[in-house]
Amino acid sequence: MKKEISGKTKIIGLIGENIENSLSPFIHNQIIIKYSLDFCYLPFQVAETDLGEAIQGIRALNIRGVNITFPYKKKAIEFLDELEESARRIGAVNTIVNNEGNLTGYNTDVIGFKKSLQYNGKFVIKEKNAVILGAGGAARGVIYTLLEEGIEEISIFNRALEKAERIKQDFSPFFPQSSINIFSFKQDNIKDKIKEANLLVNATSIGMASQIDNTPLPDENSFHPNLLVYDLIYHPAKTLFLKQAERAGAKIINGLPMLVYQGIESFYLWTGLKPEGKEVLEMIKGIA
């Protein structure tokens, strides 16, 4: 069925730097068609220097709201009027809602990550031990979720150590019962930390479609069978990181379920309609 656009159609969309491979326009427009809503979801590829103007344009063009993706989840905040509480604590937004010119930032990655672990990884976070690779906007949401759900220990490895330090400073006061360790990617204790962990997450952009031969963890012997290995990347569906983890006998999960669950929450904020995760995953079967 083709969607008809009229003068009354409300616009929602996606702002990011390289979004040609994003599945969000497909997912959201499938939901719109299925439920016959008068909305249309559009991709907006925006250069970093134009980000402020693009977000101003949400008001000017009366766009109902947008998703914000890589690499603007932190930077977008400076152009907003308000932040929902968890987005403020996390310091990153992936959703903007426009209420009559007032732009509010939300972070639905938190619920997206949590639901993907519950439903697809069947992973209980409480009292577990995790290693997170990366300390960017997505990592902040992932780490916040794990802390909120009572993880015992998190070790963050990042190239720019100051970003990991900032996460520790920002989050520790809210979660004193969990221990947060930070390390530079160059440190060689990464394998030891993974040995003690139940969950390993790639929250770096290493391994995305433009660099499929790359992995954040070149030593294939780092993985073990008692690990749930999660790559936030969903294109390609199986990164080198996940292929190596699978070969080592680890359980793996890619970024698609998180994309779907966070997308459903964003969709609800714009439209008031919340489809089931299972239903949306079914809709996109064969595409992703």
Residues that contact ligand NDP, how many (by CB under 6 A): 28
138 contacts ligand NDP (rule: CB under 6 A):
yes
Which residues have a Cβ under 8 Å from the Cβ of 279 and sit 6 or more positions away? Answer: none
Neighbouring residues of 77: CB distance < 8 A, sequence distance ≥ 6: 83, 87, 91, 92, 93, 105
Question: Cis peptide leading into 236, omega within 30 of 0?
Answer: yes
CA dihedral 223, 226, 232, 237 (to 10 degrees): 80
What lies within 8 Å, CB to CB, of 8 at 6+ separation is 38
Identify which range of 4-12, 144-152, 157-165, 277-285 contacts ligand NDP by CB under 6 A. Answer: 157-165
Residue 107 contacts ligand NDP per CB under 6 A = no
Which of 178, 262 has the CB closer to ligand NDP? 262
Footprint (CB under 6 A) of ligand NDP, residues 163-182: 163
Please state, as a whole number, how many other Cβ atoms lie within 10 Å of the Cβ of residue 85. 9
Q: Does residue 145 interact with ligand NDP by CB under 6 A?
A: no
144 binds ligand NDP (CB under 6 A): no
- The answer to whether 20 and 74 have CB atoms below 8 angstroms apart is no
Part of the chain binding ligand NDP (CB under 6 A), chosen from 37-45, 56-64, 69-77, 269-277: 69-77
Q: CA 229, CA 251: separation in Å to the nearest integer?
A: 6
| Residue whose beta carbon is closest to ligand NDP | 136
Q: Does 76 bind ligand NDP (CB under 6 A)?
A: no
Least Cβ distance, residue 257 to ligand NDP (angstroms): 8
Footprint (CB under 6 A) of ligand NDP, residues 191-250: 203-206, 208, 232-234
Active site residues per annotation: 73
Q: Does 27 bind ligand NDP (CB under 6 A)?
A: no
CA dihedral 167, 172, 177, 180 (to 10 degrees): 40
Is residue 137 involved in binding ligand NDP (CB under 6 A)?
yes
Closest separation in Å from C-beta 15 to ligand NDP: 12
Candidate residues 15, 19, 125, 135; the one interacting with ligand NDP per rule CB under 6 A: 135
Residue 95 lies near ligand NDP (rule: CB under 6 A): no
Q: Starting at the edge strand that comes first in sequence, how are the strands of the sheet with 10-16 ordered?
A: 39-45, 10-16, 65-68, 95-99, 102-106, 82-83
The rounded distance, in Å, linking the Cα atoms of 150 and 34 is 37
Token pair for residue 68?
């914000």
Contact positions toward ligand NDP, by CB under 6 A? Answer: 70-71, 73, 109, 112, 134-139, 158-160, 163, 185, 203-206, 208, 232-234, 255, 258-259, 262
